[in-house]
Amino acid sequence: MRANDLGELLQRRPFVPMRLYMSDGTSYEIRHPETYILVRSYIAIAARDNPKSAVAEHVIFCSLGQIVRAEDIAVQTKKGKRGHSRV
């Protein structure tokens, strides 16, 4: 995936959480705009084992050339309907 294409998806406002699928079958979620850094050839994603923690435990580096698709994450809204979160 090209950096410009991924950047356009990640810069939508309001922010839309997304999942990145890699060529080896793994996937990574980006739920907040503060948890990633996109550069020309890779994306660094801050990963938290505890979703309530404000501190990342580690960083995952993903080569953009290995991303096979990006998908919006449908999350539960406060009304109980499936939709996009507004963060």
User: Is residue 60 a part of any domain in this protein?
Assistant: yes
> Any idea what the CATH number is for the domain that residue 18 is in?
2.30.30.100
% of the chain exceeding 70 in pLDDT: 85
Domains contained in the chain, number:
1
pLDDT at site 5: 96
Per-residue pLDDT at 3 exceeds 50: yes
* Higher-pLDDT residue of 32, 81: 32
User: Is residue 24 a part of any domain in this protein?
Assistant: yes
User: Is residue 82 a part of any domain in this protein?
Assistant: no
User: Is residue 83 a part of any domain in this protein?
Assistant: no
User: Is residue 15 a part of any domain in this protein?
Assistant: yes
User: Is residue 31 a part of any domain in this protein?
Assistant: yes
User: Is residue 41 a part of any domain in this protein?
Assistant: yes
Summarised one tens digit per residue, pLDDT across range 14-26 is: 999 999 999 999 9
Per-residue pLDDT at 85 exceeds 60: no
Q: Which two tokens stand for residue 34?
A: 């503060």
How far is 37 from 50, CA to CA, in rounded Å? 20
* Higher-pLDDT residue of 36, 80: 36
Range of the domain at 51: 3-77
Summarised one tens digit per residue, pLDDT across range 43-57 is: 999 998 887 888 899
User: Is residue 85 a part of any domain in this protein?
Assistant: no
Least confident range of 5-14, 19-28, 57-66, 73-82: 73-82
